[in-house]
Amino acid sequence: MKHLISIKDLTQTQLLDLLKLAAEIKADPAKYSRALAGKSVVMLFEKPSLRTRVSFNIGINKLGGHCLYLDQQNGALGKRESVQDFASNLSCWADAIVARTFAHETVQGLAEHGSVPVINALSDLYHPCQGLADFQSLAEHFDDLSKVRLAFVGDGNNVCHSLMYGAALLGARMTVICPPGHFPDGFEVQQAQRIAREHGGEIVLTSDVNAIEGHDAIYTDTWISMGDSTSLADIKAKFAPYQVNKALMEKAGASHFMHCLPAHRGVEVTDEVMDGEGSLILTQAENRMHAQNAVLVTLLG
Ligand code: CP
Ligand code: NVA
């Protein structure tokens, strides 16, 4: 494993090893407190962030490493300087690059032109660090991830893509329920379905909200991702039946609710579900750090 660009690039063994290591780091952080000693990580963000920025920064510190946050104030990626020159210069000093970008091609360009590992901290196509933390969170409640029935409801976005690849590699059955016209990218669906078949799993897509029945965990995300200029007023009515509320959770028979956050309370999910007993949102947020630290230790340790 040279980079973490997408979960789809991992083998099933690599994914399971990362999840195992993430759980070990969570259980015994002291054992890893020097894992990144002497290493420096640059964090390059084109978009805002709370969880990703803070969990990488504090996580790298807990591993004994050092990190440097770069926003766009000193020149936007590819504008003041090409992505190629950003990557080659950063590789002179940093041991790894963590990047949150608009275009997925930018993360790929950093990996192509740099000489150090690149970790995708969210692009318009994928959010692999989120997916890893999410499956780590599910593993804390379900012994066999291949048997977890996960449903993603809402916009078929970057988070949905990463969850589909994770479920596919784990050989699980995942249902993706989206309003017409808001399905995940067709190419990503085909790839995920192929990987799922290879591992005895299945990715099912539908617009029928009734398909929510019979799931263990219901996952949703914002209806409008960063960089998407769609106005909420234009899509609210279309997405309304896909809101995760108490009635939908009961219809699903689901024990757990998941959201990558930030959430829009009262829009894609109600307060009652967000703050309810089966909500995993803060476990997911905490596990962002452990899962990312597992990636860093694997790439740099
Ligand atoms: N879930 C997540 O990536 O949150 P941030 O956008 O706050 O980093
Ligand atoms: N799909 C969301 C995830 C935010 C963490 C976005 O890309 O904005």
Ligand 1 touching residue 258 (CB < 6 A): no
Active site residue 221: yes
Cα–Cα separations (whole angstroms), residue 272 to 146, 243, 255, 275: 29, 12, 14, 5
Distance CA 265, CA 110 (A): 35
The pLDDT tens digits of the residues spanning 189-225 come to: 999 999 999 999 999 999 999 999 999 999 999 999 9
The pLDDT tens digits of the residues spanning 83-131 come to: 999 999 999 999 999 999 999 999 999 999 999 999 999 999 999 999 9
Q: Which of 260, 281, 282 to mutate to test the pocket of ligand 1 (most atoms within 8 A of CB)?
A: 260
Q: Is 226 annotated as a binding residue?
A: yes
pLDDT value at residue 72: 87
Using the predicted structure, report yes or no on whether residue 75 has a pLDDT greater than 90: no
Q: How confident is the model at residue 35 (pLDDT cuts 50, 70, 90)?
A: very high
pTM of the model: 0.98
* Mean local confidence (pLDDT), 42-71: 97
Active site residue 34: no
Question: HSE-up of 286 (CA within 13 Å, CB side)?
Answer: 11
- Sequence-separated contacts (24+) of 66-73 with Cβ below 8 Å: 66/39, 66/40, 66/41, 67/40, 67/41, 67/42, 67/43, 67/98, 68/40, 68/41, 68/42, 68/43, 68/94, 69/43, 69/45, 70/42, 70/43, 70/44, 70/45, 71/45, 72/45, 72/46
Ligand 1 touching residue 50 (CB < 6 A): yes
